[in-house]
Copies of this chain bind each other. A is one copy, B any other.
Amino acid sequence: MTIRRRISESTIHRLSLYYRLLAALEGEGYHTVSSKDLAHREKLTPAQVRKDLSFFGSFGTRGLGYPTKELKARIANILGIDRQWNVGLVGAGNIGSALVSYKEFQKQGFMIKAIFDNDQRKIGSNHKGIVISDMNDMAAEVKKKKLEIIVIAVPASVAQKVCDLAVTAGIKAILNFAPVNLKVPKEVLLRTENMAMEIEFLSFFLTNRLQLDNIERT
């Protein structure tokens, strides 16, 4: 029997949350957790937690809850973070440096195996153990180091060029930190992270003095 169900973006996002929570709860010595435990710490409802998990099978025990370690492992497997990913970083500037030292990336198995830049002064130099390559050698490096994900951390003006290089090199997933809408073929996954948009969100709520849910207008 094959069931087709739609998994929403929010469900995947919440799986990431559950994963972190389970790691924390495991550390606190919880051998089992209930949907209530998980929901409570994330301001969600227990029903939603159960529904999210039920998309991928049933691994709880009625009356008891979920086995912490097993559920964590299962979610890691669903998210694909029970393995290592070879990541290439483009841009050895401020954001790039921040990402290289971002422990959370490595902890989740995202290993930065190559750094690219177009600044001749930076190329060839060593950045936390990784020699910086010329952006134009991307295709060769992607092949040699089996890079699977490219993180773009260059100024907006060159981001599309970098993106095109990555696509040409055969990359299938791109995480973009440049504040620009990149164009990619439809088979390439693109996720754009715009930090300004996050702060605009706060600005909107501060301006309208809202409690994150209602607005009144005349």
Contact = CB atoms under 8 A, between A and B. Distances in A.
Interface in A138-179: 148-149, 151, 172-175, 179
Interface in A192-218: 193-208, 211-218
Given A78-B204, A79-B200, A94-B100, 4 more contacts: A9-B201, A20-B179, A110-B196, A151-B199
A35 interface: no
A97 interface: yes
A80 B95 CA distance: 26
Given A79-B207, A197-B16, A207-B79, A149 B213 contact: no
Contacts of A42: 181
A204 B80 contact: yes
A44 interface: no
A136 interface: no
